[in-house]
Amino acid sequence: NKGFQIIMKILWITPWFGNYRIPVYDYLNRQTNNQFYLICNSSDLSELVKGKLTQTLGDHVSILDSEKRLVFGKGGNTTFANATLTIKSVKGLTKKIKEINPDIIIVEGFGSWAPYGIKHAWLHRKKLLMFYERTKYVERNAPWYRKLYRMIIGRTVNHFLINGMQTEEYLNDDLHFKNTPKTLGVMCADSCNLRKQVTETPIDIVKSTKERLGISKQGLTFLFVGQLVERKGIKELLAVWNNHIKKYPNDHLVVIGTGVLKEHLIKKYNSEKGIHIMGGISYDKLPLYYALSNVFIMPTLEDNWCLVLPEAMACGLPVACSIYNGGTAELIKDGVNGYSFDPLNKKSILDTLEAFHQHDLQTMGKHSIEIESNFTPDKAAQRIFDACKSVIQ
């Protein structure tokens, strides 16, 4: 393998991530001949993820539990970006970075734990890569001091690892890093595992669940999976559903997730025709709902790169996604595998829901699988590894 021709020790510093990232770390560890290290935060990870990390990386993963947070602002229950400013301190992090003594440091964004890695890279002349996800739209309300801080600190970055075109646009136009190299397409979902579980879901269980929910063969079943919070646009979607079923009375909308709006939405909408607010379910039950649905819809009002979108695509579903999601440009091909829409425009939502009645959804689903196949963990990891090699050579 040509990857072994370059000896480099990589350290990735990130407090939080999901199960989807472990295959990426595994790939990087194998490509560097067991020279990949990870530092993360205990309280931000599930026990399942911690177990898999230890199994995958052994003593090359350091799970710290000494994070302290100082929060400024009155964000309340909002999950919109820039509602608060959080400064984090982590005892033992600086010492751990020095012990590992990496050639390359990968940090996530400009805040959180990133300053520790940025400082070490600058002081010790190490190569610095930054995994970054924000877009112009997400950062539309960013205060001036955050933008100035990013413009200054970003000068130390040797290479940006980013989601796609909208993040590239923000880095180039707003933060003026047009000349800093960037690798796109580094985000991924746990797509292969989820697709396998969907195909293995027994038909009789799918059928019985549909019968329990009263889902008939005549209509379409739309699926939403996400937090039940203002930012996800679920209120906007539910508000127009009654208008949609006047024309398509056999359609259904299955809503999965939990959050501060859960009780309010259940009280207001669960008695309406075709709406099923399921609340939170365990991850292992999710494949059943992908299997029984015809279309996945994400009406988010603000997202960097909504992971459930490529997950649904990998499961063979046509998709409808908000124009305010940072991954829409790469993942949605209008009329091919789905549609992009404006969740702040009622007509746009209704036109999009109706459009799926005019298409061969099986063909659309096949296109979803084809498009998503370019954003699998192995391809994301290869892009990251190539970026690491480029700063060393």
Please write the tens of the pLDDT for every residue from 6-35: 679 999 999 998 888 999 999 999 999 999
pLDDT band at 77 (very low <50, low <70, confident <90, very high): confident
Q: 323-344, pLDDT tens digit by residue?
A: 999 999 999 999 999 999 999 9
Q: Which amino acid is at 112?
A: S
Cβ-contact 129, 387 below 8 angstroms: yes
Task: Output the DSSP codes for 38-76.
Answer: EEEEGGGS-HHHHHHHHHHHGGGEEEE--EEEEEES--T
Between 71-85, 122-136, 341-355, the lowest mean confidence (pLDDT) is in 71-85
Distance in angstroms (rounded) separating the CA atoms of residues 62 and 17: 14
For 91, the token pair is: 């005892």
In percent, how much of the chain has pLDDT > 90? 87
Give residue 4's pLDDT.
Answer: 44
- Using DSSP bridges, classify how beta strands 85-90 and 67-72 pair: parallel, antiparallel or unpaired: antiparallel
- Which helix H or strand E contains 296, and what residues bound it? strand 295-298
**Mean pLDDT of the 299-319 span:** 96
Helix (H, G, I), strand (E, B) or coil at 105: strand
Give residue 3's pLDDT.
Answer: 43
325 DSSP assignment: B
Distance from chain centroid for Cα 179? 26
Q: Can you give the pTM of this predicted structure? A: 0.93
Helix (H, G, I), strand (E, B) or coil at 6: coil
- The residue with greater pLDDT, 344 or 46, is 344
Q: Which amino acid is at 360?
A: D
Give residue 5's pLDDT.
Answer: 52
Q: Which amino acid is at 197?
A: Q
* pLDDT above 90 for 144: yes
Radius of gyration of the chain (CA): 22
